[in-house]
Amino acid sequence: MTIFSSLKAGVLAGAALVAASTGVAAAQTTSLDDVLAAAREERRQAAQENREREQRCLQERNRQQARLNEVRAQVNAEERRSDELDEQFRVNDERIQELTNLLQERQGEFGELFGAARSGAAELAAQLDNSVISGQLPGRSAQLRDTAEATTLPSVEELRFIVDATFDEMAAQAKVATFESSVSNAAGERENVMITRIGPFSAFANGKYYVMKQPEGGSPRLTELPRQPEGNNAVPNARSVANYSGDGYVEGTIDPSIGQLLSLVVESPTLPERFEQGGLVGKAIAVVFLAGFALGIYKWFTLFMTNSAVRGQVRRKTPSRGNPLGRVMMAYESNTSADVETLGLKLDDAVLKELPKLEGGLNLIKVIAAIAPLMGLLGTVVGMIITFQQITLFGTGDPQIMAGGISQALVTTVLGLIAAIPLLLLHAFASGSAKAVTQTLEEQAAGMIAEHAESRA
Q: What is the average pLDDT value for the chain, to the nearest integer?
A: 80
Pairing of strands 208-213, 190-198: unpaired
pLDDT given for residue 295 in this prediction? 92
H helices of 130-203, where? 140-149, 156-172
Q: How confident is the model at residue 284 (pLDDT cuts 50, 70, 90)?
A: very high
pLDDT given for residue 14 in this prediction? 41
pLDDT given for residue 108 in this prediction? 60
> Which pLDDT tens digit goes with each residue over 212-240?
777 776 677 888 887 777 766 777 777 77
pLDDT(298) > 80: yes
The closest alpha carbon to 313, from 327, 326, 298, belongs to 326
The predicted model gives 320-341 an average pLDDT of 82
pLDDT given for residue 22 in this prediction? 44
Q: How confident is the model at residue 115 (pLDDT cuts 50, 70, 90)?
A: confident
Spatial contact of 148 and 122, defined as CB atoms under 8 Å apart: yes
pLDDT(395) > 80: no
> Which pLDDT tens digit goes with each residue over 233-270?
777 777 777 777 767 777 777 777 777 777 777 677 77
pLDDT given for residue 185 in this prediction? 80
pLDDT(109) > 70: no
Q: How confident is the model at residue 11 (pLDDT cuts 50, 70, 90)?
A: very low
pLDDT given for residue 244 in this prediction? 73
pLDDT(97) > 90: no
Q: What is the DSSP track for 40-84?
A: HHHHHHHHHHHHHHHHHHHHHHHHHHHHHHHHHHHHHHHHHHHHH
> Which pLDDT tens digit goes with each residue over 25-46?
444 445 888 888 888 888 888 8
Q: How confident is the model at residue 107 (pLDDT cuts 50, 70, 90)?
A: low
> Which pLDDT tens digit goes with each residue over 138-154?
878 888 888 888 777 77
pLDDT given for residue 424 in this prediction? 92
Helix (H) or strand (E) holding 290: helix 279-314
Which residues, other chains included, contact 357 with Cβ-Cβ below 8 Å and sequence gap of 6+?
324
Q: How confident is the model at residue 1 (pLDDT cuts 50, 70, 90)?
A: very low
Burial of 37 (0-12, 13-18, 19+ CB in 10 A): exposed
Q: How confident is the model at residue 117 (pLDDT cuts 50, 70, 90)?
A: confident
Neighbours of 202 (CB within 10 A): 26
